[in-house]
Structure 1
Amino acid sequence: MKLTSLDAPGYEKVVYAEDEASGLKSIIAVHSTKLGPAAGGCRMFAYPDIEAAKTDALRLARGMTYKNAAASLPLGGGKSVIIADPHKDKTPELMQAFGRFVESFDGMYTTAEDVGISVEDIEEAAKFTSYAAGLTKGEYASGDPSPVTARGVYLSCMAALKHAFGHDRIEGKTVALQGLGHVGMYLAGHLHEAGASLVVTDIDAHAVAQARQKFSARSVAPDDIHDVDADIFAPCAMGAILNANTIPRLKAKLVCGAANNQLADDAAGEALLEKGIVYAPDYVVNGGGIINVSAEILKITDQKWVDQKVEQLAVTTDKILTKAKALNASPHKVADQFVDEILAQ
């Protein structure tokens, strides 16, 4: 396996790995270990080139620093990406090679599942590294983090409702939900059970059909989700979905979803504020998964510890939105300031 250090100012360690035997092409980015060893999932995606993969890895790694700090976890921020099509290129040998790549960081970074990667994939990697979490077997195994992520997003959405609508009742509200992957489908279940009407989209036709059947959801084409006449927009797919093209099309009063790096840039956060749309900062509301995984990393078996941490995400969301309103500031900037103060200490 050939390892190449990549230049990334402001990051502690970024490495590109290429393994000819398995076909692995992967990047691990460690943004910060100020609060503890870096932790963050692995994403598999058919990036067009290494530079695009690096850009995503860096954004995601920094996001994990902020996510872990916002959730009051003694963990730093890191992320890994694999340049491959998860539907065509994934093999046990590739994931095992990835495990060897993770092991080369010697505990500086712990991986888990993310977009395009399943718990079973991580268990293949775990055959060759001690630094993989979200497993189904073992004394501290925490299992699939997706349901816990979805619960944290749902609870945070409930907390954000009063800032957008003046009350915390979601019954009768319409939610435009983008992405029906591991987390999106669980979130759809929470919203449906609470009485919300769902309009969904995904590039996976089977997932869309499942949501229509289980949750009486209406479906639209992927690009049409931004035009839906909805009260809440819940992005649960890829990042940078809130941008100069999509924000003018949104009719929702609240954005709260599970996707990472939802804002394309700072201007997107300001645009939401100017349009009167309440934005629940993504890395705050979607911290449930890493909380669940962190219990495994930290060898904590008390489920109450996880539950309390997840419930606290909604409290933090409420505090940030309250302060943002008082300052007439974008919630993402208030959230960043909140975390920067934690990191400075």
Structure 2
Amino acid sequence: MDAYGTDSDARQGLDGPGRSGGAPEPDAPPGPVGPPEPDGSSALDGPPAQDSPPEPAGPYPLDDPQDASTDAAVLESGGLAFSVTPAPGPYAEPRTGVAALSPRYQIGAALALAVVAVLVCVHVGMVFLHVAPSNTLTKAHGKAIDDWIYPEFEQNWKLFAPNPLQQNIAVQVRAEVQEKNGDVRTTGWYDLSAEDGQAIHGNLLPSHTEQNELRRAWDFFVSTHDGNNRPAGLRGALSETYLRRIVVLRLRRDDAAGKGGAIDQVQVRSRTTNVPPPKWSTEKISDKPMDRVLPWWPVTAADTDGGAR
């Protein structure tokens, strides 16, 4: 047998015929040989080679198929599909204030603002006419102006006057009380101005009543009466009634009548004390208080809580 014969089982060359080296490949397992394919290929040849990946079976859905407003583009690469959502538009600022209301409430808010604007204009006009010098409008509509201004919005210029107030005026009152057993007694003097001052002292938000009610009532009385406490005009009786009701209510608040007692009469007086000058001043003034005592006023049912309501 030839060493290089083809019918020998010995390997040819280094590793056998046609091999340059390496381990021998195992023999293919036996298997059925199928019929040839129509194109002449056999089942043993494997699947045919494809030049490109297969097309997708259908369109790929977007990330959110329910959102019809999303304009997404589908990019295909290597048989894979990616959904790309466009960037959102510019951010819209949320509406605030009146603009955030419904149209019906916007109309209501506009009407309310219009009413407030009209009231402000009317009030400013009334105050201007009140402090302005006498003119045609004040002469023709003076009563309407006074009804609007008094007593809540009255204006005065005493702080800026050439001779500002240099006196402390205290309003005091005493009462004649009928006891439960029929006895009559006279109370001491109640300093109502001092009570108001104590309520205001240290109070960051004092009430209008504590600051001005008693003071304005006394100024009203003085301006409508002469030095002998006689009314000087038609408003004199009104000022007396106003002042009397205020002092009666204050006495009842202080329980001046006591348990079971009743107030029959009241008497009001003012005590005026000059403000002392500064130490560097050479001005000499009296420090003696001056009293103005009013006559006794009978208290009627209209002066009590029931009549004052």
- Bin of the TM-score, shorter chain as denominator length: under 0.3
Greater relative contact order (Cα < 8 A, sep 6+): 1
TM-score normalised per structure 2? 0.20
Bigger Cα Rg: 2
TM-score normalised per structure 1? 0.19
